[in-house]
């Protein structure tokens, strides 16, 4: 599914498309609708950069079982576990 944000909305908010994606990602992460990995992908940012963005806004990083299991799976795939 694609969501189209009209140019006049971007102009009204004085945001670029990338900034709008980041704002949406932060909001969805804060509301626990997206995991950290999902939100960082949606924002088009490396996970660490997204974490820095959250930290700059004093938004705590909730790290649940789903993220833990994803990290374990990644480590297994990389042969580090």
Where does the pLDDT of residue 3 fall: very low under 50, low under 70, confident under 90, or very high at 90 and above?
A: confident
Torsion, Cα of 67, 73, 74, 77 (10° steps): 180
- For the chain, the average pLDDT equals 91
Greatest pairwise CA separation for the chain in angstroms: 49
Where does the pLDDT of residue 23 fall: very low under 50, low under 70, confident under 90, or very high at 90 and above?
A: very high
Q: pTM here?
A: 0.74
Instruction: Domain ranges for the chain, please list them.
Output: 7-77
């Amino acid at each position: 599914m694609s969501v189209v944000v009209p140019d006049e909305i971007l102009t009204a908010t004085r945001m670029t498309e990338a900034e709008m994606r980041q704002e949406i990602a932060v909001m969805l992460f804060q509301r626990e609708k997206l995991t950290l990995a999902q939100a960082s992908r949606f924002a088009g940012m490396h996970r660490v950069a997204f974490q820095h963005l959250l930290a700059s806004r004093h938004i705590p990083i909730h790290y649940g079982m789903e993220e833990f299991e994803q990290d374990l799976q990644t480590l297994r795939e990389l042969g580090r576990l």
